[in-house]
């Protein structure tokens, strides 16, 4: 059972999984699994039709509602019964970064209550310096009081005359002082994506990740992609503040849920690292991203001034240091740097292609210590957005499509017998490749109106391939791949293909030893389908393919747990060559050429 | 003419000189020189008797009032006519520190509007880093953006696309950015005394001090000395905040007046230095001073965390760096360190005694690079407080008393024909020494009831010496030296005498080459009288005597104008041996022995 409070106007909707609530139908009010109890029921808007379908009047009267449907008109306390909790909402142990050798930049030391200082051999001392000297004597490095409010707190009568726990950062000095002996040392690694926010709670003493939790980025309410959010900042006088507030509040809720699950306090958190794409980094820090939105697409800052929980509005102890991964360019961000750190691309002899596909695509090529990076505007198609039957990769989504023995088959997330609700990104790539193999799609991406299963309107236009008819789909509407969907996939896959080609040209390689696929979506798709549609080069070019779940998050955890990683982060960012495709005169021609699908026989285009 | 605004409840009183208003009678409503015009007159309390004496009903109706008398019941705009302005309220050119070779820690550089950055040779850049690179290219050292709000400001559309002036501190990075070309570079040196606040406005480009201004410390409303203010912090839940607010507001008014006189803006001020005694330093920084009030009289901090105008509530550009001189002990403060810096005591071969007497006395002995310091509780008697006819050293005060040709004569500040209003500190020391020489006071400090001019009650007690009878005194009451006054002087002079003796013993010297007298009061009294009453040792022991006005303020200006002084400041504080008298078993006996006056013939006791 989980209990939390919501404010009037707040909507849980399809982000209810943030609170660990089951979302089997993706927030459509269909499955009825997200039942919650709200008090007082007088603070609720009238039930929706979906709620009336799943709940009897007495239940509705008592404040029982569906989390994805309910609207709050006053402050409400929400109780989530165990039956509505989704054990999969917390990242499984397998999804968490591995145990690491801990050497964090921040530590704790303990001072027993002691007799106050005296004047010794002609030297007076200050109460606070005396505490610092005692703390240094325990072997703790970097003990300095650099924060005026903390010094004020300690100067208060009685404040220093008790057992104390000091939180000390090697470079920033003492960041917090707690009364008593409080040995727990935790850290938060945050991964800020355009679509998804993820937080990992790490034990800085053991080097282990205690728990992880992901949620939708609440900024989605303002726009699906970074361009629409930058435009919002440009157009609305308080647009930046609104977006900043959304991501800040999103992380505050995510961190609170994570802390509550682990049964620990925000005061136990001593450090935060943040891996974010450039626009998300700007919006979280409150920097205006307008320069990212216009050529030459540069960020306001690639490295950020020293950040604290307070300066970002994160609800942790105010001086908690926040280390933001530096950015490479306006579209290659701290998440990419973190992914390189996690993969070790920068230290490998093997030539490596690192492909992070989300709403935007970032590609890195590493070879003998050299690093080249570029970004490509894939659009949200590969994450299931702007696709006619698109949806997120949640239970009910068609995530695998195959062409076997002359038939197109699909697989539904969360159970074989489940009716499909839509297509997620991996399903779309699979579907296009299956349709190519089935001969339903030409090299140019057009449907063959004659092909069985392809449905067109009277004049042979508006063709689509119906994967599941309305009566077999869970949402009551057919699940299809339309001509427009195929175009979206073509645009996205061409952007990735040309990006890889540019990087390989710049680095002077014709093949790599290994290809790492990561990102919210990148690790989930079938790379063979991606090769089939020409998004990735032929297998002999891309070497061994390794899907790695959420490398950026792993990099953020690494930097949190091991302070020596900071130097590597700097070298990665410093050394990375940014390959600008937009300004290249050959780009347009290459891009248009890459729209077509490869021949079915081979992988060339 | 000066115009300023006051809030209901605010009182100008005898602190009206803060606003440059004449205070010829010391704020008693006698001279009528402090006439001001207040609008609207409906926001004034009814006129006092003194105001009705000096102003006709039509004037009172029009809002004319006496600054030292008027009470405000609503917000009021005060106009000070030129006739009411006191030209002496601003420090004269002679009182200002000399021109120094400028090498401040903070500078300005100018960036013309330029084409926005581009991606060059595979390196993207951030808008803000690009500004930093351009600024560094001008030769400015230390250009880094370390402040998040400043980065936010620069990221706003258009903010960087104009001519810019950057204020850069060598260690702290960019502290402010102003649109346009703003070459003026000013600094504020603040001297925070228990009784007096002083501010100096310096030109960091020329090394000259533009103007200085002093005012009473508004904390006097809570207590005359540091002990009473510490007690206020201990007793009142918001006592610290109240005292902090008083000194902060006092400096904000003082700085505003100084800026207005110089016709410059707070945005032209790039740096602040503060020389303060330990309690004043704590109260300005908002640190609780309770440890200073109890044995072993230690401060909360001797060195302060990095301070800014915003963290202290000073109304300057928020990131303006504030450098607080470090403290030596609970009663030897940054003002003493600043005075040593200004005198060069630490670098002289000549053995030097530095005596700073104010409400508290600080004594430093320097010899061959060694520094010893102590403090002594002189009490406010030597500044004219707790003396029956005592007053501040303002016009009307008896500041010199002599015994010549068998007669005791006095001199009144501000004009020979002016009726005396009271005795200031230098007058009191002179008077006691004159009474000793006249034979009116014995070695033990008792009045001789038989001596002409000494008046006693019937049983030979309650003796006093009348300096001016009531009918010759400006205030309407006689000006006298009472037995209690003599006791106060004895306590104060014994504390100084024993302090000097302790320091000389500890340093192993029997005489010094030079003695420097400084402090708000220290530079004004006649050292021969001080030797006469035994406050200072005999002339052959103290060497050449040099009164130096406000050495602490000069030291604060030096540190502001020349960044290389910072290292000296650290060495002075580090190297200074604190000589603790209170804990010495011989102190009490020596102190009691020092209460008596020396023989008239010699200077021994």
Q: Is the pLDDT of residue A394 over 90?
A: no
Nearest residue of A to residue B574, measured between CA atoms: A123
Residues from chain A that touch B311, judged by Cβ atoms under 8 A, are 148
* Residue B98 buriedness (CB in 10 A; 0-12 / 13-18 / 19+): exposed
Q: Is the pLDDT of residue B520 over 70?
A: no
Q: What is the mean pLDDT of residues A340-366?
A: 92
Distance (Å, rounded) from C-alpha A17 to C-alpha A604? 42
Q: Best residue in B132, B152, B156, B322 to probe A by mutation, most A CBs within 10 Å?
A: B152
Q: Is the pLDDT of residue B197 over 70?
A: yes
For A92, A226, B348, the CA distances from B570, given in Å and listed in that order, are 55, 51, 17
Q: Best residue in B301, B331, B508, B575 to probe A by mutation, most A CBs within 10 Å?
A: B301
Domains, chain B: 2-88 (3.10.20), 106-176 (no CATH), 186-324 (3.30.420.480), 348-379+492-594 (3.30.420), 381-488 (no CATH)
Q: DSSP 3-state assignment of A353?
A: strand
- In percent, the amount of chain A with pLDDT more than 70 equals 94
Q: Best residue in B119, B120, B122, B124 to probe A by mutation, most A CBs within 10 Å?
A: B124
Q: Does A124 touch chain B (CB under 8 A)?
A: yes
| Identity of the residue in A147, A154, A300 whose CB atom sits nearest the CB atom of B127 | A300
Q: Does B127 touch chain A (CB under 8 A)?
A: yes
β-strand partners of A370: A367
Residue A346 contacts residue A290 (beta carbons within 8 Å)? no
Q: Which of A521-525, B17-21, B26-30, B336-340 has the highest mean pLDDT?
A: B336-340
Distance (Å, rounded) from C-alpha A15 to C-alpha A18? 6
- In percent, the amount of chain B with pLDDT more than 70 equals 94
Task: Round the average pLDDT of chain B to a whole number and report it.
Answer: 90
Please give the backbone phi and psi of residue A355, each rounded to the nearest 5 degrees, phi first: -115, 115
Predicted confidence at residue A59, as pLDDT, reads 87
Interface contact flag, B304 A148, Cβ < 8 Å: yes
Listing DSSP states for A216-283 in one string gives: E-GGGGT-SSHHHHHHHHHHSTTHHHHHHHHHHHHHHHHHHHHHHHHT--GGGEEEEEEEE-HHHHHH
* pLDDT one-digit tens code per residue, B139-163: 999 999 999 999 999 999 999 999 9
| Identity of the residue in A122, A155, A306 whose CB atom sits nearest the CB atom of B578 | A122
Structural tokens at position A436: 């190519």
Predicted confidence at residue A89, as pLDDT, reads 42
Q: Is the pLDDT of residue A544 over 70?
A: yes
Q: pLDDT confidence of B522, banded at 50, 70, 90?
A: low
Alpha helices in B289-421 (DSSP H): 309-312, 334-343
Predicted confidence at residue A10, as pLDDT, reads 74
Q: How far is A227 from chain B (nearest CA, A)?
A: 16
Interface contact flag, B327 A126, Cβ < 8 Å: yes
Predicted confidence at residue B418, as pLDDT, reads 84
ipTM (interface pTM) = 0.84
| Identity of the residue in B124, B154, B301 whose CB atom sits nearest the CB atom of A298 | B124
- What end-to-end distance do the CA atoms of chain B give, in Å? 55
Instruction: List the beta strands (DSSP E) in B383-447.
Output: 397-404, 407-412, 422-423
Interface contact flag, B287 A152, Cβ < 8 Å: yes
Identify the sign of the CA torsion A220, A224, A227, A232: negative
Q: pLDDT confidence of B99, banded at 50, 70, 90?
A: confident
Interface contact flag, A302 B146, Cβ < 8 Å: no
Residue A285 contacts residue B112 (beta carbons within 8 Å)? no
Residue A385 per-residue DSSP state:
T
Q: How far is B234 from chain A (nearest CA, A)?
A: 8
Predicted confidence at residue B602, as pLDDT, reads 41
* pLDDT one-digit tens code per residue, B53-86: 888 888 899 899 999 899 999 888 888 877 776 5
Residue B419 contacts residue B31 (beta carbons within 8 Å)? no
| Nearest Cα residue to A118 out of B74, B194, B345, B583 | B583
Lowest mean pLDDT among A46-50, A198-202, B88-92, B207-211: B88-92
Predicted confidence at residue B91, as pLDDT, reads 45
Q: pLDDT confidence of A17, banded at 50, 70, 90?
A: low
* pLDDT one-digit tens code per residue, A140-197: 999 999 999 999 999 999 999 999 999 999 999 999 999 999 999 999 999 999 888 9
Instruction: List the 568-597 stretch of A: residues with Cβ below 8 A of B.
Output: 577-580, 583
Q: What is the mean pLDDT of residues B299-326?
A: 97
Distance (Å, rounded) from C-alpha A439 to C-alpha B348? 97
Q: Does B133 touch chain A (CB under 8 A)?
A: no
Q: pLDDT confidence of B1, banded at 50, 70, 90?
A: low
Q: DSSP 3-state assignment of A308?
A: strand
Q: Does A119 touch chain B (CB under 8 A)?
A: yes
Distance (Å, rounded) from C-alpha B320 to C-alpha B492? 40
Q: Does A283 touch chain B (CB under 8 A)?
A: no
Q: How far is B7 from chain A (nearest CA, A)?
A: 29
Q: How far is B132 from chain A (nearest CA, A)?
A: 11
- Report pTM: 0.84
Q: pLDDT confidence of B400, banded at 50, 70, 90?
A: very high
Q: Best residue in B116, B126, B370 to probe A by mutation, most A CBs within 10 Å?
A: B126
Interface contact flag, B301 A152, Cβ < 8 Å: no
Q: How far is B311 from chain A (nearest CA, A)?
A: 8
Residues from chain A that touch B148, judged by Cβ atoms under 8 A, are 285-286, 304-307, 311
For A5, A399, B329, B339, the CA distances from B332, given in Å and listed in that order, are 54, 75, 5, 11
Distance (Å, rounded) from C-alpha B190 to C-alpha B309? 12
To which residue do tokens 């540091």 refer? B226
- In percent, the amount of chain A with pLDDT more than 90 equals 67
Decide the pairing of beta strands A106-111 and A35-39.
Answer: unpaired
Identify the sign of the CA torsion B548, B549, B550, B555: negative
* pLDDT one-digit tens code per residue, B353-398: 999 987 789 999 999 989 999 999 887 777 777 889 998 887 889 9
Label residues A188-205 b or e (16+ Cβ within 10 Å = b).
bbbbbbbbbbbbbbbbbe
Q: What is the mean pLDDT of residues B297-303?
A: 95
Predicted confidence at residue A2, as pLDDT, reads 66
A to B CB pairs, distance under 8 Å: 164
Q: Does B125 touch chain A (CB under 8 A)?
A: yes
β-strand partners of B196: B216
Instruction: List the beta strands (DSSP E) in A435-511.
Output: 454-455, 464-468, 479-482
Alpha helices in B123-238 (DSSP H): 127-137, 148-155, 226-235
Q: pLDDT confidence of A605, banded at 50, 70, 90?
A: very low
Interface contact flag, B286 A148, Cβ < 8 Å: yes
Please give the backbone phi and psi of residue B186, each rounded to the nearest 5 degrees, phi first: -120, 165
Nearest residue of B to residue A306, measured between CA atoms: B146
Predicted confidence at residue B261, as pLDDT, reads 87
Q: How far is A297 from chain B (nearest CA, A)?
A: 9
Q: Best residue in B305, B308, B328 to probe A by mutation, most A CBs within 10 Å?
A: B305
Structural tokens at position B586: 């011989």
Q: Does B287 touch chain A (CB under 8 A)?
A: yes
| Nearest Cα residue to A467 out of A392, A390, A401 | A401
Please give the backbone phi and psi of residue A532, each rounded to the nearest 5 degrees, phi first: -60, -40
Distance (Å, rounded) from C-alpha A291 to C-alpha B480? 77
Residue B578 contacts residue A124 (beta carbons within 8 Å)? yes
Kind and range of the H or E run holding B239: helix B239-262
Instruction: List the 449-508 stretch of B: residues with Cβ below 8 A of A.
Output: none
Q: pLDDT confidence of A117, banded at 50, 70, 90?
A: confident
Label residues B73-85 b or e (16+ Cβ within 10 Å = b).
eeebebebeeebb
Q: How many residues does chain B have?
A: 605
Q: Does B307 touch chain A (CB under 8 A)?
A: yes
More confident residue, A17 or A290: A290
| Identity of the residue in B118, B157, B306 whose CB atom sits nearest the CB atom of A288 | B157
Structural tokens at position A3: 């209990």
Predicted confidence at residue A520, as pLDDT, reads 67
Structural tokens at position A406: 């002359």
Q: Best residue in A131, A146, A148, A573 to probe B by mutation, most B CBs within 10 Å?
A: A148
């Amino acid at each position: 059972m989980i209990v939390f409070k919501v404010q009037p106007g707040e909507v849980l909707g399809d982000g209810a999984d943030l609170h660990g609530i089951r979302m089997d139908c993706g927030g459509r009010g269909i499955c009825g699994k997200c039942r919650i109890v709200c008090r007082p029921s007088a603070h609720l808007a009238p039930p929706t039709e979906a709620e009336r379908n799943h709940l009897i009047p007495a239940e509705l009267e008592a404040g029982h509602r569906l989390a994805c449907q309910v609207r709050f008109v006053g402050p409400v306390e929400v109780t989530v019964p165990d039956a509505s909790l989704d054990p999969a909402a917390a990242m499984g142990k397998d999804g968490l970064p591995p145990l690491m050798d801990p050497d964090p930049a921040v530590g704790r030391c303990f001072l027993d209550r002691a007799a106050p200082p005296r004047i010794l051999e002609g030297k007076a001392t200050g109460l606070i310096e005396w505490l610092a000297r005692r703390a240094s004597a325990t072997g703790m490095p970097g003990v300095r009081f650099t924060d005026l409010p903390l010094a004020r707190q300690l100067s208060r009568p009685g404040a220093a005359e008790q057992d104390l726990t000091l939180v000390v950062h090697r470079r920033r000095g003492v960041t917090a002082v707690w009364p008593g002996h409080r040995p727990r040392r935790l850290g938060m690694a945050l991964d800020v994506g355009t679509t998804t926010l993820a937080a990992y709670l790490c034990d800085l003493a053991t080097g282990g990740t205690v728990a992880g939790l992901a949620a939708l980025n609440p900024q989605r309410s303002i726009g699906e992609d970074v361009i629409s959010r930058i435009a919002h900042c440009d157009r609305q006088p308080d647009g930046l503040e609104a977006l900043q507030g959304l991501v800040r509040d999103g992380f505050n809720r995510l961190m609170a849920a994570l802390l509550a699950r682990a049964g620990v306090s925000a005061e136990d958190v001593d450090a935060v690292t943040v891996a974010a794409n450039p626009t998300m980094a700007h919006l979280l820090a409150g920097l205006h991203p307008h320069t990212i939105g216009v050529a030459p697409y540069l960020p306001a800052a690639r490295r950020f001034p020293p950040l604290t929980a307070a300066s970002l509005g994160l609800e942790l102890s105010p001086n908690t240091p926040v280390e933001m991964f530096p950015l490479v360019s306006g579209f290659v961000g701290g998440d990419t740097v973190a992914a390189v750190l996690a993969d070790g691309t920068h230290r490998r002899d093997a030539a490596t292609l690192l492909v992070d596909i989300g709403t935007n695509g970032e590609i890195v090529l590493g070879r003998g210590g050299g690093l080249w990076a570029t970004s490509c505007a894939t659009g949200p198609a590969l994450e299931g957005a702007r696709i006619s039957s698109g949806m997120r990769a949640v239970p009910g989504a068609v995530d695998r499509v195959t062409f076997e023995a002359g038939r197109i088959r699909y697989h539904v997330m969360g159970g074989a017998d489940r009716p499909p609700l839509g297509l997620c990104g991996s399903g779309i790539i699979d579907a296009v490749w299956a349709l190519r193999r089935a001969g339903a799609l030409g090299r140019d991406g057009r449907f063959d109106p004659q092909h069985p299963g392809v449905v067109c309107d009277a004049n042979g236009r508006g063709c689509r391939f119906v994967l599941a008819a309305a009566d077999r789909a869970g949402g009551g509407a057919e699940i299809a791949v339309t001509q427009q969907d195929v175009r979206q996939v073509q645009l996205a896959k061409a952007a990735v293909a040309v990006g890889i080609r540019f990087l390989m040209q710049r680095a002077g390689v014709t093949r790599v030893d290994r290809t790492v696929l990561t990102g919210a979506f990148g690790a989930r798709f079938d790379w063979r389908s991606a090769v089939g549609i020409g998004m990735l080069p032929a297998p002999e070019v891309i070497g061994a393919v390794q899907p790695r779940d959420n490398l950026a998050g792993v990099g953020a955890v690494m930097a949190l747990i091991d302070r020596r990683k900071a130097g590597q982060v700097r070298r990665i960012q410093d050394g990375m060559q940014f390959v600008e495709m937009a300004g290249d005169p050959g780009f347009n021609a290459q891009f248009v050429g890459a729209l077509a699908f490869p021949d079915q026989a081979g992988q060339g285009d």
